[in-house]
């Protein structure tokens, strides 16, 4: 008896489900299946990126934001004669060989917070900063000089032009080398390598993390010797008898009028000896937040 009642209930449930399905379908209430936007081919991506770079080249800007800088410096290479700067060094107890008495210098950490303004007009960028905090101490220094030599906002903003613009695409070989996620968004990684016989960019390599359906640039990384203030690093390289190597990466979260602005900038300053071994002198991380835009105008010619 129990089994018979249970069977009747199951059959009634199935019948009601079928009636409900037919009722919903008749009135068009079934959920619409969302078709995924197909990923663009590499050629299509490069075409869209070239258009974006033209926007960047002609953009006029005026905005302010919060700029927070954290820098770590390893001063080992800066000490050419350790015995003349003995107070900066740690010592092994007496009795050891002189060569063994000196250990590497302690790394030094610095932090700066600025109110930052960037104006770009007629292809020229002007930067103005007010220092509001230094190593945890409150400051208020208008028209402040940047305390570190490796942070140039314009390089991060315009980095796509040097890797992905139509003019530069003729000098690079491009390849899709991987997939990953940035804040939950599926992206592909495009690598740019100089073509053989392209001397103008022989030292320029880069990668870009791209939304495969929209061609939006979410992150870019490049290695070059044409960064602003490069003469500073050349002088250091001569002093260290090594070649400077700068690696820069920037993430782009903020968007205005189709232009993406750096939200995070990371710079590694290293020096390479004749054997190809590198010592990293500094690592710098910059966060850009609280953007306020006055002008973002794009003129594509």
How much is the pLDDT for 227? 64
Q: Residue 158: name the closest of 246, 292, 231, 260 by CA.
A: 260
Match 């390289």 to its residue by tokens: 237
Question: In this structure, what is the dihedral angle of CA atoms 181, 222, 153, 188, given to the nearest 10 degrees?
Answer: -20
CA angle 75, 229, 271 (to 5 degrees): 40
How much is the pLDDT for 178? 94
Taking the C-alpha atoms of residue 297 and residue 278, their distance in angstroms, rounded to an integer, is: 42
**In the β-sheet with 124-134, what is the strand arrangement from edge to edge?**
137-141, 124-134, 108-121, 60-73, 278-297, 259-272, 243-256, 217-223, 205-210, 185-194, 172-182
How much is the pLDDT for 36? 65
Beta carbons within 8 Å of 46's beta carbon, 6+ residues apart? 164, 169, 174
Which pTM value belongs to this model? 0.77
How much is the pLDDT for 93? 45
Using 70 as the pLDDT threshold, list the residues of the chain that sit under it.
Answer: 1-37, 80-105, 198-203, 224-229, 300-301
Pairing label, strands 60-73, 243-256 = unpaired
How much is the pLDDT for 233? 86
How much is the pLDDT for 298? 86
How much is the pLDDT for 11? 52
How much is the pLDDT for 27? 44
Beta carbons within 8 Å of 195's beta carbon, 6+ residues apart? 171, 172, 173
């Amino acid at each position: 008896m129990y089994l018979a009642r249970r069977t009747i209930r199951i059959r009634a449930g199935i019948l009601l489900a079928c009636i409900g399905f037919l009722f919903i379908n008749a009135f068009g209430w079934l959920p619409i299946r969302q078709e995924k936007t197909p990923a663009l081919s590499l050629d299509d991506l490069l075409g869209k990126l070239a258009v974006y770079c033209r926007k960047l080249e002609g953009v006029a800007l005026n905005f302010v934001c919060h700029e927070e800088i954290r820098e770590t410096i390893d001063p080992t290479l800066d000490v050419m004669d350790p015995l003349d700067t003995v107070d900066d060094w740690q010592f092994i107890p007496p009795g050891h060989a002189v060569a063994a008495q000196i250990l590497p210098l302690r790394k030094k950490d610095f932090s700066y917070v600025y109110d930052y303004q960037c104006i770009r007009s007629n292809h020229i960028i002007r930067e103005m900063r007010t220092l509001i905090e230094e190593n945890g101490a409150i400051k208020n220094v208008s028209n402040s000089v940047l305390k570190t030599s490796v942070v140039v906002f314009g390089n991060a903003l315009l980095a796509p032009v040097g890797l992905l613009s139509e003019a530069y695409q003729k000098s690079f070989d491009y390849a899709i080398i991987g997939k990953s996620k940035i804040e939950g968004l599926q992206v592909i990684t495009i690598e740019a390598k100089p073509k053989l016989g392209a001397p103008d960019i022989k030292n320029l390599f880069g990668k870009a993390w791209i939304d495969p359906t929209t061609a939006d640039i979410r992150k870019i990384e490049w290695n070059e010797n044409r960064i602003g203030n490069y003469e500073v690093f050349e002088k250091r390289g001569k002093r260290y008898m090594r070649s400077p190597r700068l690696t820069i990466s920037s993430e782009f979260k903020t968007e205005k009028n189709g232009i993406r602005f750096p939200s995070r900038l990371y710079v590694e300053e290293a020096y390479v000896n004749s054997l190809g071994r590198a010592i990293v002198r500094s690592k710098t991380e910059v966060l850009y937040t609280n953007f306020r835009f006055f002008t973002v105008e794009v003129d594509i010619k």
